[in-house]
Amino acid sequence: MKVWKHFCTITRHKLLVMRHCFRVGLYWQGILHDLSKYGYTEFSLGCKFYQGTESPHNGERRAYGYSLAWLHHKGRNKHHLEYWMDFGLDKSEGLKGMKMPKKYVVEMFLDRVCASKNYQKERYTDASAWEYYARNRQYTILHPDTRALLEGLLLMLKEEGEEAVFSYIKKQVLRKDFPY
């Protein structure tokens, strides 16, 4: 039963992200989004730790102290900020967030929106993705430009709604001359 429920959850999420990517013109990213979740490493652990109310990665972390599925996933999917962490040229700075290409920032934004929709269902509002992000914002390692773009999109969604932010992404953010 968990196998089917997990499959339905990740497929519902993938299709939501795909639909949103298509709305802003990111067709290829929409098609490829989260395909690694269907591979053995991520899928088997997702089924084992499926709860339906939060990511299975959290259950795996509680059980083992880390999530192998998450480590696998974030290393293969460029829309995750963790993919873009590296040491700067000055090693004394430690790990830093590298500047993400804006198409991946947009996909990260859409991923967060769709995860909120998927897990919150009827409780979802346009503020949900911002509220989820804001709870852990102080612990998030992001390049300043990437942070500004992501937070700007999340706040625009919260304050102006989905139609406004999607239009802004398509007509402004994804243009070559957008200042990012």
96 strand-pairing partners: 86
Give the three-state DSSP class for 105: helix
Length of the chain: 180
Q: The tokens of 42 are what?
A: 């991520």
Ordered by start, the domain boundaries in the chain are 78-173
Q: What mean pLDDT is predicted for residues 147-163? A: 98
Tokens representing 100?
A: 């993400």
- pTM for the full predicted model: 0.94
The DSSP element (H or E) to which 17 belongs, if any, is: helix 2-24
The structure tokens listed for 69 are: 């599925």
Alpha carbon distances (Å) from 84 to 107, 121, 144, 151: 14, 30, 13, 17
Could you report the per-residue pLDDT of 5-61, keeping only the tens digit for each?
Answer: 999 999 999 999 999 999 999 999 999 999 999 999 999 999 999 998 889 999 999
Contacts of 8 (CB under 8 A, 6+ apart): none
Q: What is the pLDDT of residues 74-132, one digit of tens each?
A: 999 999 999 999 998 888 889 999 999 999 999 999 999 999 999 899 999 999 999 99
pLDDT band at 138 (very low <50, low <70, confident <90, very high): very high
The HSE-up count of residue 17 (CA atoms within 13 Å, CB side) is 28
